[in-house]
């Protein structure tokens, strides 16, 4: 039964999820982003009769298309969908009715859910891959992640997770780098032993230091949020830095993409009363885009001409919720 995995390319959680599937079942894999997910589904190898999809969320405006894509795939292969992004009850039901095995829980990251699903087929050291995703997705305080963390040296896990995250951020425009990391992690290599990871992570640490200065100079405050256009590959870093630089509850960073669209990342503090994953899907759809995510971290893609309208709608929603 040849297995093929489709997982998120841009963060540690997605890469670790792919590595866990590879370690458990072997086969092939494709790392992709939300915008190119449907192309990845169409390119699933014809001999793959077991497909595992990890860390690829959807939103209400895109849920019908998403469910149909999974349903078409499920007609020719066993499909397992493992995710932790917000998913409405109706959308869950559509996915399950299509014959897809759904493993969904917003309390844990995708790599933790992937580890739990395949743990009988994985070595003991695979727990670390689940923790890498939990730490970098800020979900290591969940009950499951906390219990796992107690069985390791916490500082070691934090170090390895950060090395992996920073190295991936530095090479965010190089998909082959993420693919290499997935293969190395599947072989249960710790990040500090993987070629280039330590050096790239240190380079990224310096880039983050310089970026913090940039954010203070070029960020713009709009009510209770701050925003900035950037050319950085990891827009989430910029959004996070905006929180501290401007003392706001929501940071929004965006960059231009081919085809006239912009990629937007949102990060919030605990004072923000909005569930970003739920809100951004609704708001982005009003501006011709799609989006989704978690309570304090989310993203969307909209036409470039709509970015100011999106920001104004976000700020208005913040005011209403406060």
155 pLDDT exceeds 70? yes
Q: How far apart are CA 264 and CA 235, in angstroms?
A: 7
The pLDDT score that the predictor gives to residue 58 is 80
Give the pLDDT confidence score for residue 295 in this predicted structure.
87
Mean residue pLDDT of the chain comes to: 94
Mean pLDDT along residues 243-264: 94
Q: Is the pLDDT of residue 274 over 70?
A: yes
Architecture of domain 219-321: Roll (3.10)
φ/ψ (deg, to 5) at 148: -65, -40
Q: Which residues have a Cβ under 8 Å from the Cβ of 208 and sit 6 or more positions away?
A: 166, 237, 241
Least confident stretch, 22-31, 162-171, 197-206, 287-296? 287-296
What's the pLDDT at 14? 97
Per-residue confidence (pLDDT) for residue 266, from 0 to 100: 95
**Which one has a higher pLDDT value, 87 or 145?**
145
Question: Distance between CA atoms of 297 and 292, rounded to whole angstroms?
Answer: 9
User: Which CATH number is associated with domain 3-198?
Assistant: 3.90.1640.30
Q: Is the pTM of this model over 0.75?
A: yes
Beta-strand pair 261-268/50-54: unpaired
Q: How confident is the model at residue 231 (pLDDT cuts 50, 70, 90)?
A: confident
Give the separation between CA 31 and CA 241, rounded to whole angstroms: 27
Check whether 163 has a pLDDT greater than 70: yes
| Dist CA 268 CA 162 (whole Å) | 20
Question: pLDDT at residue 1 above 80?
Answer: no
Q: At what angle do helices 63-74 and 89-97 cross, to 10 degrees?
A: 20
Neighbours of 94 (CB within 10 A): 18
Report angle CA 160, 165, 166 to the nearest 5 degrees. 100
pLDDT tens figures, 107-151: 999 999 999 999 999 999 999 999 999 999 999 999 999 999 999
Domain locations in the chain as residue ranges: 3-198, 219-321
What percentage of the chain exceeds 90 in pLDDT? 81
d(CA 116, CA 143): 13
CA dist 16 to 51, 105, 184, 186, 201, Å?
17, 17, 10, 8, 17
What is the per-residue pLDDT for 5? 98
Average pLDDT over residues 12-22: 98
Which pLDDT belongs to residue 223?
A: 95
User: Strands of 28-32's sheet, edge to edge?
Assistant: 28-32, 3-8, 50-54, 78-83, 101-104
Q: Do domains 3-198 and 219-321 have the same CATH topology?
A: no
Average pLDDT on 77-82 reads 97
What number is the average pLDDT over the span 61-69? Answer: 84
**254 and 233 Cβ atoms separated by less than 8 Å:** no
Overall average pLDDT of the 154-166 stretch: 97
Average pLDDT for 242-249:
96
């Amino acid at each position: 039964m040849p297995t093929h995995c489709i997982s998120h390319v841009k963060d540690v959680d997605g890469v670790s999820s792919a590595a866990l599937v590879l370690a458990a079942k072997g086969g092939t894999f494709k790392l992709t982003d939300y915008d190119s997910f449907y192309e990845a589904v169409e390119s699933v190898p014809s001999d793959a009769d077991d497909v595992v999809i990890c860390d690829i969320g959807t939103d209400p405006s895109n849920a019908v298309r998403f469910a149909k894509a999974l349903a078409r795939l499920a007609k020719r292969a066993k499909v397992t969908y493992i995710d932790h992004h917000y998913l409405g009850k109706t959308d869950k039901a559509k996915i399950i009715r299509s014959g897809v095995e759904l493993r969904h829980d917003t309390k844990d990251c995708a790599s933790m859910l992937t580890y739990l699903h395949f743990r009988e087929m994985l070595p003991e050291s695979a727990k670390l891959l689940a923790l890498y995703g939990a730490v970098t997705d800020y979900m290591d305080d969940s009950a499951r992640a906390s219990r796992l963390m107690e069985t390791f040296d916490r500082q070691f896990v934090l170090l390895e997770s950060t090395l992996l995250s920073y190295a991936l951020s530095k090479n965010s425009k190089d998909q082959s780098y993420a693919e290499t990391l997935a293969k190395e992690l599947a072989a249960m290599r710790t990040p500090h032993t993987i070629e280039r990871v330590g050096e790239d992570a240190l380079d990224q640490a310096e880039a983050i230091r310089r970026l913090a200065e940039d954010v203070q100079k070029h960020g713009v405050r709009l009510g209770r949020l701050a925003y900035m256009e950037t050319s950085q590959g990891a827009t989430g870093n910029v959004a996070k830095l905006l929180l501290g630089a401007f003392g706001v509850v929501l940071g929004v960073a965006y960059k231009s993409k081919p085809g006239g669209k912009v990629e937007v990342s949102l990060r919030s503090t605990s004072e923000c009363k909005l569930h970003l994953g739920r809100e951004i899907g609704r708001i982005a759809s009003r501006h011709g885009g799609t989006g989704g995510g978690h309570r304090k971290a989310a993203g969307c893609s909209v036409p470039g001409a709509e970015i100011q309208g999106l920001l104004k709608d976000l700020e208005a929603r913040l005011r209403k919720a406060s």
